[in-house]
Structure 1
Amino acid sequence: MNKTVALVNLWGEFEEKHPEASIEDFFRYQLAHQRERVAATDTPMAGGTAPMHPNGQLLRLIGRVNKLNMVYAYAALDGTGVNQLEEFGLLMHISQAKNPRKTEIIYSNLMELSSGTDMLNRLKNRGFIREYDDTEDRRSKRVELTEEGLAVIAICRQRIGKLAGMMLHNMADDDIQLCIKLLKGVEQEFSARLPNDKGKAFEEVFKEVM
């Protein structure tokens, strides 16, 4: 087959699967596949038997990396007053959103209302956040960082940045960008679905999605 035709066919297949991707993403994808073919393909996954289907392998891998990241986050945050990655996530959301509603913080971080409220209360008791009535809706509360919260988040952001650099130190920047591009759609789709899917049977959700 003519090389130009082969290249166009490859681009067509990639664009169909990833319509929002750029040409740069396409080349990152091809380079990643080339490195994968060159590397050994029979290296077993850590943690025992892996699922046979690639979908299961990918989700299992994502889950294990997330768990490892959370374990090392405990060490990275030690001594800051922030005890876990979820607390850091809440503080970062408050920092970026300035004065969000409590419910917005909780649901945006994919937490249940009760557990999210408990975590925000613990952060308030430590003096990192304060809450006040929402002037637009008296039934709601808004949250902002205290001076102590601003100081602690600066320390935590530096440590979590070092953690991220450590976890991904063997990945090329292009590969990281490609992973973000390929997985972002999954995160966006199911983050948008989740509030309406709560309480539904799995088979009902499956039929709607598929």
Structure 2
Amino acid sequence: MEDVIEVLQRWAEYQKGHPGGGFEDFCRFYLATPKGKRQKDGRLDAYFKKAQPADTDSMFMMTMSRSTLAFWVYMRIALRDTPLPAIEDVMLCSALYHLDESRKTDIINFAMMEISTGTGNLNRLIEKGFVEERIDPDDKRSKLLVLSASGTKALKQCFAKAKMARDIFLADLTEDDKKLVANILNPLQEKHARLAIARKGKSIEEIHQEVFGEKKK
């Protein structure tokens, strides 16, 4: 009976903060805070309650973006004592690890970074000996980059640390939970990992019109 009373109380609290939220939204919200792990209200807790969006799209994107930001905090901690303490450097080396020998633009796009930022980071990685470059035999104006032996060794150290950060972040999820979320999100990331890069030169209004113009046809 106590559990029923608790659910009713939390449902009442949820309705006050989310007047547009339905019962299914409340259930997801309730299950996202397992019993025994709910913290006492404080300034930060109160802020999070107020920051909960009422509409589904905003809730979905807030959940994704803040989850990513939280994971990056763990990653920065994990990488502190590695040869590649900057997440951006790990992303670029990881891109090279998967692409093998490639041009700078392809590496930067694969890592989904801005060209200017990626170029500066790659140049520093070359100076430190983690990345090697040579003239492209098919285009003398271009250079090809490849991860050096020391770069590969450093990256594998980072992978081991990243696994620890990943284990910490996913500790409360079951294998089925992870499979479910991955199955939902993987098609989304596969689609937009390509399209976001192709659309970088357009305004957000142009992209919006392109997407929703297509859906109206």
1:180 maps to amino acid: A
Tell me: CA distance 1:47–1:102, structure 2 relative to 1, closer, same or farther (3 Å): farther
Whether the 8 Å CA contact 2:112–2:197 is kept in 1: the answer is no
2:89 maps to amino acid: E
2:157 maps to amino acid: I
One of 67, 70, 73 as aligned partner of 1:68: 70
- Structure 1: gaps of 5 or more residues: 1-33
Q: Secondary structure at the match of 1:94?
A: helix
- Structure 2: gaps of 5 or more residues: 1-23, 34-44, 213-217
Q: Which residue of 2 aligns with 1:160?
A: 162
* Aligned structure 1 segments of 4 or more residues deviating by more than 6 angstroms: none
Q: Which residue of 2 aligns with 1:150?
A: 152
Larger Rg: 2
Tell me: CA distance 1:42–1:168, structure 2 relative to 1, closer, same or farther (3 Å): closer
2:115 pairs with 1:113 = yes
Aligned partners of 2:69 and 2:146: how far apart in 1? 29
Whether the 8 Å CA contact 1:82–1:88 is kept in 2: the answer is yes
Aligned partners of 1:41 and 1:154: how far apart in 2? 36
Q: Which residue of 2 aligns with 1:197?
A: 199
% same residue:
27
Aligned partners of 2:129 and 2:81: how far apart in 1? 15
Whether the 8 Å CA contact 1:73–1:84 is kept in 2: the answer is no
How many equivalent residue pairs? 176
Matches within 5 A, 1:46-65: 46=48, 48-65=50-67
Q: Which residue of 2 aligns with 1:40?
A: 30
Aligned partners of 2:95 and 2:184: how far apart in 1? 24
Aligned partners of 2:162 and 2:143: how far apart in 1? 28
Aligned partners of 2:127 and 2:160: how far apart in 1? 23
Q: Secondary structure at the match of 1:122?
A: helix
Which fold has the larger relative contact order, with Cα–Cα distance below 8 Å and residues 6 or more apart in sequence? 1
Q: Which residue of 2 aligns with 1:82?
A: 84
TM-score by structure 1 length? 0.75
**CA offset at residue 59 of structure 1?**
0.7
Q: Which residue of 2 aligns with 1:102?
A: 104
Whether the 8 Å CA contact 2:104–2:145 is kept in 1: the answer is yes
Q: Which residue of 2 aligns with 1:126?
A: 128
Aligned partners of 1:174 and 1:47: how far apart in 2? 28
Whether the 8 Å CA contact 1:90–1:109 is kept in 2: the answer is yes
Q: Single out whichever of 155-164 and 178-187 deviates more from structure 2.
A: 178-187
Q: Secondary structure at the match of 1:106?
A: helix
Q: Which residue of 1 aligns with 2:5?
A: none
2:67 maps to amino acid: V
Q: Single out whichever of 44-53 and 126-135 deviates more from structure 2.
A: 44-53
**CA offset at residue 96 of structure 1?**
2.0
Tell me: CA distance 1:54–1:180, structure 2 relative to 1, closer, same or farther (3 Å): same
Aligned partners of 1:207 and 1:156: how far apart in 2? 41
Tell me: CA distance 1:172–1:142, structure 2 relative to 1, closer, same or farther (3 Å): same
**CA offset at residue 65 of structure 1?**
1.2
**CA offset at residue 38 of structure 1?**
8.8
Q: What does the per-residue CA deviation read over 1:40-59, in whole Å, with 9 as the maximum and x for residues that have no partner?
A: 36968947512211111111
2:211 maps to amino acid: V
Q: What does the per-residue CA deviation read over 1:92-144, in whole Å, with 9 as the maximum and x for residues that have no partner?
A: 12112221221110011111111100111111122211111111222222111
TM-score by structure 2 length? 0.73
**CA offset at residue 39 of structure 1?**
7.9
CA-based RMSD of the aligned residues comes to 2.4
